[in-house]
Amino acid sequence: MQCTKTFITSTAIAAGFLLSACTSSDINSYDNNVYQGSNYIYQGINFGSDRDASFKKGVRDACRTAGGNYTKDHSQFKNNESYRTGWEDGRLQCKGK
């Protein structure tokens, strides 16, 4: 009887170690379509990770525009791809919010 309990306990512990070895510890991996890294969230909207200052400014300006206060740095929009992308994403995401 004691031998059976020891065997079951040992088997359960070994199975636990084997199963835990199959999980990822990468913080940048996707889990159920939710990104685990550092995301840029503005007005409750997730605009993704690793966004630079120009992108963030574009999002803020576009969300103000979507709210009825037209805001756009035309020079940045024309010459800075990151600002332009942020502005376009922000306009689409904040529209109607």
What band does 12 get if pLDDT is binned at 50, 70 and 90? Answer: low
Q: Nearest Cα to 67, choosing from 52, 38, 45, 35?
A: 45
* Angstrom distance (rounded) from CA 44 to CA 27: 22
pTM of the model: 0.61
Is residue 46's pLDDT more than 90? yes
* Angstrom distance (rounded) from CA 11 to CA 78: 64
Report domain extents, the chain: 59-97
Lowest mean pLDDT among 4-8, 49-53, 67-71: 4-8
What band does 97 get if pLDDT is binned at 50, 70 and 90? Answer: low
